[in-house]
Amino acid sequence: MVISKDIQKNKLKILELFYNSSDIVIRDFQTLCNTEVMVCYLNGFIDKEALNDNILQPLIENLLSPMDITDTVYITEIREITSYQEAITGIIEGHVALFHEDLDKAFILNLCDYEKRPVEVSGSEQVIRGPKEAFIEDLHVNKTLVRRKIRNNNLVFEDFVLGKHTNTIVSLVYVKGIVNEEILAELKSRIKEIKTDAVLDSNYIGEYIDDTPNSFVPTVYNTEKPDVLAGKILEGRIGIICDGSPNVLTVPKIFIECLMTAEDYYLKPMHATYLRIIRAICLIISVTLEGIYIALANFHQEMIPTPLLISMAGQREGVPLTSFLEALFMIMFFEIMKEAGLRLPKSIGHTVTLIGGLVIGQAAVDAGIISAIMIIVVSATGIAEFVNPTLRELIVISRLILIFFGAFLGIYGIVCGLIVFVYYLTSIKSFGVPYLYPIAPYDKKGMKDFIIRAPIKKMNCRPEYISNKNSKKRNRSL
């Protein structure tokens, strides 16, 4: 509907469109040339001081003709609109709409300023060395954080508005020239297909664009740190920043990214490699240890060294549950403790861990309900799980599956399970990139940033499958 010249009519229309919502503010006033002007905005969304000093005051004191409005107000961002729908969108985005009685159009003034969390140290991805700032909920601040890492006109933000009711701005970020255009086109088509009423967190988007939405394998990476995002998009990946969420997604994702941290690139290569090996070992431990223990204890006692077997037999003496149920019981207990510690306020969380870990764990062993070695196995697995927090969902579920395999089929089952698991991982693709790249398909250049983190000087090529073809990170000419 086209904006009318009648201020009162406009006013009623706006109020009607917002259903007289209490946070809509409308103010009309006379200017110098005795014409009526109306501004409307949402309370709390704008910088009121700037509105007073830069808009209202110049208009009231200096406006001579309706044609001069853009020249009279002191503002950097102003655009003309002609329909109510555009006005509504502008107001919702936190802008000020300005109507004039002699014009059948309105102006949207960007005076957006609202309360937001300051940029702080990342809570979930802590580093000892390297940048510590983390994204916040505000999209514009997040964009700034990225732009400050990559000061280059090739860095592109491309906005989409998603969610029928929430109208959330979702922004793709990539570097033109490095990004693989095919993947970009695919991502855009997937985003355009999203039909949803609400986007409250980036995971809402993540699930829509995920290649394996029904699986426990994560094929979308998420990070909280601008430096990680910058590193990813400089390798040709595409970031998805969602307004209102501090977690930024990147695609495509390959498996090895789960074992990497930002710090790998801020430490010396040898130490970084060492840490990656530790993480890989922890991944293997956290997935397989419990299954292997149960398989050994139930089927393959001959493979356990004699002194260990004797000690295990002693501990199992008088334990009422079978080792399989014992393991399930312990894992259940461990998960409960983890969840309780996570959800409770920090001060109580410690108490829960203490009571759970020490008192109940110790008491269970003393009472002969659980064997001590089972507690060792479960807690070793649990600690190893925390080394790779991004893989938690994968670890927790695949571990349970392997326990079942181990308890019913022995080592044979574990081996079968692992074969099927690796086979499955090989079959997955994230936006056309094989999940196990660079092992399958093997890529010698990609191996420089795999388990072994080569010196930065030596990593000359971007991952072939992810970035634009033939793009080099660095060579003599750069």
In the complex with another protein, the residue whose CB is nearer, 344 or 401, is 401
Answer for which of 58, 252, 410, 434 binds another protein (CB under 8 A) is 410
Least separation in angstroms between residue 398's CB and another protein is 18
**Which alpha helices (H) appear in 299-368, and where do they start and end?**
306-316, 323-343, 346-354, 361-366
Contacting another protein (CB under 8 A), which of 408, 419, 422, 441? Answer: 408
Applying CB under 8 A, the span of 1-9, 146-154, 260-268, 409-417 interacting with another protein comes to 409-417
Minimum CB distance to another protein smaller for 17 or for 409: 409
Q: Is 363 in the site for another protein (CB under 8 A)?
A: no
**Closest distance between another protein and the C-beta of residue 402, in Å?**
14
Q: Which is nearer to another protein, 279 or 316 (CB)?
A: 316
* DSSP track, 378-425: HHHHHHHHHHSGGGHHHHHHHHHHHHHHHHHHHHHHHHHHHHHHHHHH
Specify the residue, 260 or 295, whose C-beta has the smaller distance to another protein.
295
Listed residue (440, 438, 439) closest to 463, CA to CA: 438
Nearer to another protein, 75 or 312 (CB): 312
Q: Quote the least distance from Cβ 82 to another protein, whole Å.
A: 55
Measured from the CB atom, the residue of 99 and 405 that comes closer to another protein is: 405
Q: Which helix (H) or strand (E) holds 181?
A: helix 181-192
Residues 6+ apart with CB under 8 A from 83: 1, 2, 3
| CA gap 51, 35 in Å, rounded | 19
422 binds another protein (CB under 8 A): no
- Binding residue count for another protein, defined by CB under 8 A: 33
User: Which residues have CB under 8 Å from 101's CB, separation 6+?
Assistant: 5, 6, 7, 35, 36, 37
Q: Is 18 exposed, middle or buried (0-12, 13-18, 19+ CB in 10 A)?
A: middle
Counting contacts by CB under 8 A, is residue 365 touching another protein? yes
Question: Quick check: 369 binds another protein (CB under 8 A)?
Answer: no
Q: How far is the CB of 420 from another protein (least distance, A)?
A: 9
The residue range among 30-38, 69-77, 208-216, 293-301 that interacts with another protein, by the rule CB under 8 A, is 293-301
Q: Is the peptide bond before 441 cis (omega within 30 degrees of 0)?
A: yes
Shortest Cβ distance from residue 341 to another protein (Å)? 26
Q: Return the residue matching tokens 């670890």.
A: 395
Which position among 157, 299, 333, 404 is part of the footprint of another protein (CB under 8 A)? 299
Q: Are 233 and 154 in contact (CB under 8 A)?
A: no
**Binding segment toward another protein, per CB under 8 A, in 84-92, 160-168, 292-300, 462-470:** 292-300
Among 88, 409, 418, 454, binds another protein (CB under 8 A): 409
Q: Which of residues 372-401 bind another protein (CB under 8 A)?
A: 372
Q: What string marks each residue from 306 to 325 as x (binds another protein by CB under 8 A) or -?
A: xx-xx-xxxxxxxx--xx--
* Distance, CA of 331 to chain centre: 27
Stretch of 39-47, 278-286, 300-308, 456-464 lying at the interface with another protein (CB under 8 A): 300-308
- In terms of CB distance, is 123 or 320 closer to another protein? 320
Considering only 269-277, 303-311, 445-453, 461-469, which stretch makes contact with another protein by CB under 8 A? 303-311
What is 189-235 written as a DSSP string? HHHHT---S---SHHHHHHHH-S-TTSSS--SEEES-HHHHHHHHHT
CB atoms within 10 A of CB 424: 14
74 exposure class (CB count in 10 Å sphere: 0-12, 13-18, 19+): exposed
The answer to whether 99 touches 106, Cβ cutoff 8 Å, is yes
Helix (H, G, I), strand (E, B) or coil at 139: helix
Q: Which residues bind another protein (CB under 8 A)?
A: 297-302, 306-307, 309-310, 312-319, 322-323, 365-366, 368, 371-372, 407-413, 416
